Structure 1
Amino acid sequence: MRKFLFLIFFGALFFIVSCGKNDDVEPESKSSLIPSNDFDFETFDCSQCTYIVTDYKTDGAELNFKPGDVICLDSEIAYDRLLFSNINGTAEKPIIIRNCGGQAIIQATKPGGISFEYSSHFKLLGDGGGSNYGIKVTTNTGFYVLMRTFTNQFEIAHLEIAGNSDGFAGIGLKTSPYEDCQLFEDPSRPWTMTDITIRNNYVHDVNGEGLYIGHGFHAGWTGNACPNIVYPHVIKRLKVYSNIIENTGYDGMQIKNGDEDIEIYDNYIFNYGTRGENGQNEGVLLGGPITGLFYNNVIIKGTGNGLRMLNIGGNNDVYNNIIMESGKSGIRIDGGNEFDLIFNNPYLNFFNNHIVNSGEYGFVIFDKRAADRRFKNNLVINASDQLLAIGSQIDAIDTSHNITTQDLDFVKFKSINSYEFELLPESPAIDAGTDLSNFGVDIDIMRRPRPSGSGFDVGAFEQQ
Structure 2
Amino acid sequence: MKSTLILNCILLAFFLFTSFHSKAQCDCDHTINPSSNLQVLNGDDFNYQPGDTFCLMGGQYNALRLINFKGTAEAPLTFINCDGAVNIVSDQYTGMQWRESAYVRVTGTGDENEEYGIKVSETPTGRVGISVTFLSTDFEIDHTEISGTGFAGIMAKTDPECNDDRTWRENFTMYNIIVRDNYIHDTGGEGMYLGGSFGYETTSKSCDGIDDPFAHFMVGTKVYNNYIEDTGWDGLQVSLGDETTEVYNNTIYGYGTSKENNHNAGIQLGSGCTGKFYNNKVIQKPDYALEDQTGIQIINALSGLTFFNNVVAYSGEFGIWIHLRFSDASIDLDKSYNFINNTIIEPGGNSGGNYGTGIFWNTCIPNGGDCRDYIKNYFANNIIVDPGINLDNSGFWKSAEEAFIDYNAKALRETAVKVTNLFARTTASGVNNLTADIKFADPSNDNYSILEGSTAIDAGTDVSSYGVSFDFNNGARPFGSGFDIGAFEFGATNQAPIASISVDKETINSGETVSLNGTASSDPDGSIIKYAWTVKSGPSSPTIQNADQASATVTINEPGEYVISLEVTDDLDASASDEITITVESAPLSVGDALNNPSLITSIYPNPTNFGIVNLELNKESGSLIDIEVFSITGASLFRNRITYIENNTQVNLSHLIQGEGSNMVMIMIKGDNDYAVERIILK
Residue in structure 1 matched with residue 27 of structure 2 by the alignment: 48
* Structure 2 letter corresponding to 1:48: D
- Displacement of 1:179 in angstroms is 7.4
Residue in structure 1 matched with residue 678 of structure 2 by the alignment: none
User: How far apart, CA to CA, are the structure 2 residues paired with 1:363 and 1:296?
Assistant: 17
Match of 2:194 among 193, 213, 231: 213
User: How far apart, CA to CA, are the structure 1 residues paired with 2:167 and 2:186?
Assistant: 33
Match of 2:336 among 324, 334, 347: 347
The count of aligned residue pairs is 416
- Displacement of 1:138 in angstroms is 2.2
| Cα gap change, 1:225 to 1:139, in 2 (>3 Å) | farther
Q: Confirm whether residue 307 of structure 1 aligns to residue 324 of structure 2.
A: no
Q: What does 1:306-325 correspond to in 2, within 5 Å? A: 306-325=295-314
Residue in structure 2 matched with residue 151 of structure 1 by the alignment: 136
Residue in structure 1 matched with residue 322 of structure 2 by the alignment: 333
User: How far apart, CA to CA, are the structure 2 residues paired with 1:444 and 1:426?
Assistant: 18
In 2, are the aligned partners of 1:72 and 1:98 still within 8 Å (CA)? yes
Residue in structure 2 matched with residue 202 of structure 1 by the alignment: 183
User: How far apart, CA to CA, are the structure 1 residues paired with 2:425 and 2:46?
Assistant: 63
User: How far apart, CA to CA, are the structure 2 residues paired with 1:282 and 1:324?
Assistant: 12
Between 1:402-411 and 1:94-103, the stretch displaced more is: 402-411
In 1, are the aligned partners of 2:309 and 2:343 still within 8 Å (CA)? yes
**Greater RCO between the two (CA within 8 Å, min separation 6)?**
1
Residue in structure 2 matched with residue 287 of structure 1 by the alignment: 270
Residue in structure 1 matched with residue 363 of structure 2 by the alignment: 367
Q: What does 1:45-444 correspond to in 2, within 5 Å? A: 46-54=25-33, 56-75=39-58, 77-129=59-111, 130-141=113-124, 142-163=127-148, 167-178=150-161, 180-184=163-167, 189-216=170-197, 217-223=199-205, 228=210, 229-301=212-284, 303=289, 304-338=293-327, 341=330, 343-359=332-348, 360-368=356-364, 370-385=374-389, 386-392=403-409, 393-394=411-412, 396-407=415-426, 408=431, 409-410=435-436, 411-444=438-471
- Displacement of 1:101 in angstroms is 0.8
Give SS of 1:74's match.
strand
- Displacement of 1:57 in angstroms is 1.4
Residue in structure 2 matched with residue 17 of structure 1 by the alignment: none
* Structure 2 letter corresponding to 1:375: F
* Structure 1 letter corresponding to 2:48: F
| Cα gap change, 1:308 to 1:125, in 2 (>3 Å) | same
Kindly name which structure, 1 or 2, has the bigger radius of gyration based on alpha carbons.
2
- Displacement of 1:227 in angstroms is 5.8
TM, length-normalised to structure 1: 0.86
Give SS of 1:72's match.
strand
Give SS of 1:313's match.
coil
User: How far apart, CA to CA, are the structure 1 residues paired with 2:244 and 2:163?
Assistant: 26
In 2, are the aligned partners of 1:291 and 1:313 still within 8 Å (CA)? yes
User: How far apart, CA to CA, are the structure 2 residues paired with 1:367 and 1:417?
Assistant: 36
User: How far apart, CA to CA, are the structure 1 residues paired with 2:143 and 2:231?
Assistant: 19
- Displacement of 1:291 in angstroms is 1.4
Residue in structure 2 matched with residue 8 of structure 1 by the alignment: none
* Structure 1 letter corresponding to 2:195: G
In 1, are the aligned partners of 2:363 and 2:375 still within 8 Å (CA)? no
* Structure 1 letter corresponding to 2:129: Y
Q: Give a deviation string over 1:165-222, Cα, whole Å, max 9, x none.
A: x52110000111127543456xx62210011111000000001000001112122424
Name stretches of at least 5 consecutive residues in structure 1 with no aligned partner: 1-43
User: How far apart, CA to CA, are the structure 2 residues paired with 1:226 and 1:149?
Assistant: 22
Give SS of 2:245's match.
strand
| Cα gap change, 1:450 to 1:248, in 2 (>3 Å) | same
TM, length-normalised to structure 2: 0.59
* Structure 2 letter corresponding to 1:419: D
User: How far apart, CA to CA, are the structure 1 residues paired with 2:345 and 2:320?
Assistant: 11
Residue in structure 2 matched with residue 29 of structure 1 by the alignment: none
| Cα gap change, 1:179 to 1:61, in 2 (>3 Å) | farther
Residue in structure 1 matched with residue 477 of structure 2 by the alignment: 450
Name stretches of at least 5 consecutive residues in structure 2 with no aligned partner: 1-22, 349-355, 365-371, 390-402, 492-684
User: How far apart, CA to CA, are the structure 2 residues paired with 1:415 and 1:391?
Assistant: 34
Q: Hey, which of these two has a bigger chunk of helix by percent?
A: 2
User: How far apart, CA to CA, are the structure 1 residues paired with 2:85 and 2:339?
Assistant: 41
Q: Give a deviation string over 1:36-92, Cα, whole Å, max 9, x none.
A: xxxxxxxx96342111113601211121321011111101x3211101111100001
User: How far apart, CA to CA, are the structure 2 residues paired with 1:430 and 1:293?
Assistant: 24
Aligned-residue sequence identity (percent) comes to: 34
Q: Hey, which of these two has a bigger chunk of strand by percent?
A: 1
Give SS of 2:270's match.
strand
User: How far apart, CA to CA, are the structure 2 residues paired with 1:236 and 1:390?
Assistant: 32
In 2, are the aligned partners of 1:109 and 1:139 still within 8 Å (CA)? yes
Please report the RMSD computed on the Cα atoms of aligned residues, expressed in angstroms: 1.9
* Structure 2 letter corresponding to 1:84: L
User: How far apart, CA to CA, are the structure 1 residues paired with 2:347 and 2:471?
Assistant: 22
* Structure 1 letter corresponding to 2:301: I
